[in-house]
Amino acid sequence: MSDSSISKLNCALANSRSVLIVCGAGTSAESGVPTFRGTTRSWWSGLLGYPILLVFGTPWGWEWLPWLVWPLFRIFMRRTMRRAEPNAFHELAVRLHDAGKDVLVVTQNIDGLFQRAGLPPQNVIEQHGTVQTNICSRCLKPVDGDAYCGACGGWPRPAALLFGDRWFPEADITPALKMSHDTVVIIAGLSGMVSSADPILNARIGRRDGAHVFNINPLPNRYDGPRIECIRMGCAEVAKKINL
Ligand code: NAD
């Protein structure tokens, strides 16, 4: 099943002029960055998961417990993401781009691994922001490095979307909606429990006029469905089988 699906993906990519990659935490799993849900044990697993999520995953922790959150975030999460190396899936996006295809990545990831693999920043839409830069946890204005806010003196926090946030990254998805009707769509490493990608996928999968849609994920997920080619494997593993 996967072998024939991978042949179809190879064929679709070879014949495509444009590729839209809509992806989530799973694309970085094989780089060693734990996913939120799915195959890996992570910072959020086990009994401590919910308290950790409450503190790191909401604006509340960053505003009221910065002395606790900052050192742990630096040591565990940000260091893991900064030390992670792009994997074969990130590199596939670059190979497609270098082969002259119009490649657009829309990602929920905040680790910057597609750009570090060499994909130009203008080809990546970061729907949930990034851990590479910070904003003020109080007035939400951009701040320099890890410094306190120059405007209000508030603590910094990552410019990444948190649960219950009142700040949203500027992520214009219009280019994804405007891609040609025969664009190959790859959904990768996305559980679908966070619905940021839905406006794009509803528009593209709903239309499906000639488009090929592939869903790469070792586990069943919300994007499985008729006329979508499901590849039940890790995305780096799949990317290694793509010959351009
Ligand atoms: P998720 O954690 O909810 O789901 C991850 C999905 O990836 C699961 O469906 C899982 O089965 C799949 N997966 C696991 N290993 C895979 C692999 N090797 N190849 C392909 N798929 C694999 O992720 P989400 O849907 O992106 O939403 C979670 C939220 O957590 C997002 O807001 C995201 O920003 C954030 N997050 C980001 C990172 C990151 O930047 N690397 C890491 C963890 C969480």
Q: 104 in helix, strand or coil?
A: strand
Predicted pLDDT of residue 52? 82
Task: Give me the phi and psi of 21, to 5 degrees please.
Answer: -110, 120
Alpha-carbon gap, residue 208 to 197, rounded angstroms: 16
Q: What is the DSSP letter of 151?
A: T
Predicted pLDDT of residue 78? 92
Alpha-carbon gap, residue 134 to 155, rounded angstroms: 10
Predicted pLDDT of residue 40? 65
Element (H, E) at 244: none
The structure tokens 């990545």 sit at 105
Name which residue sits closest to atom 14 of ligand 1, judged by CA: 26
Name which residue sits closest to atom 11 of ligand 1, judged by CA: 38
Alpha-carbon gap, residue 111 to 128, rounded angstroms: 10
Q: Which residues on adjacent β-strands are paired with residue 21?
A: 105, 186
| Annotation says 97 is catalytic | no
What value, to the nearest 5°, has the Cα angle with vertex 88 and ends 234 and 119? 125
Predicted pLDDT of residue 53? 81
Ligand 1 center–CA 221 separation, angstroms: 11
**What sign results for the dihedral spanned by CA atoms 126, 131, 134, 139?**
positive
Tell me which of 90, 97, 128, 212 is the catalytic residue. Answer: 128
Name which residue sits closest to atom 10 of ligand 1, judged by CA: 38
Ligand 1 center–CA 170 separation, angstroms: 21
Q: Are residues 105 and 23 in contact, defined by beta-carbon separation less than 8 angstroms?
A: yes
Convert 83-111 to b/e letters by CB count within 10 Å (16 or more is b).
ebebbbbbbbbbbbbeeebbbbbbbbbbb
Name which residue sits closest to atom 15 of ligand 1, judged by CA: 26
Ligand 1 center–CA 242 separation, angstroms: 22
Name residues of the chain where pLDDT drops below 50: none
Predicted pLDDT of residue 182? 85
Predicted pLDDT of residue 209? 55
Alpha-carbon gap, residue 63 to 66, rounded angstroms: 6
Ligand 1 center–CA 150 separation, angstroms: 34
Q: For residue 189, give the ligand 1 atom closest to its CA.
A: 21
Predicted pLDDT of residue 171? 94
Which residues fall within 8 angstroms of residue 93, CB to CB, at 6 or more apart? 19, 21, 103, 105, 114, 117, 119, 123
* pTM strictly above 0.75: yes
Predicted pLDDT of residue 1? 55
Predicted pLDDT of residue 55? 85
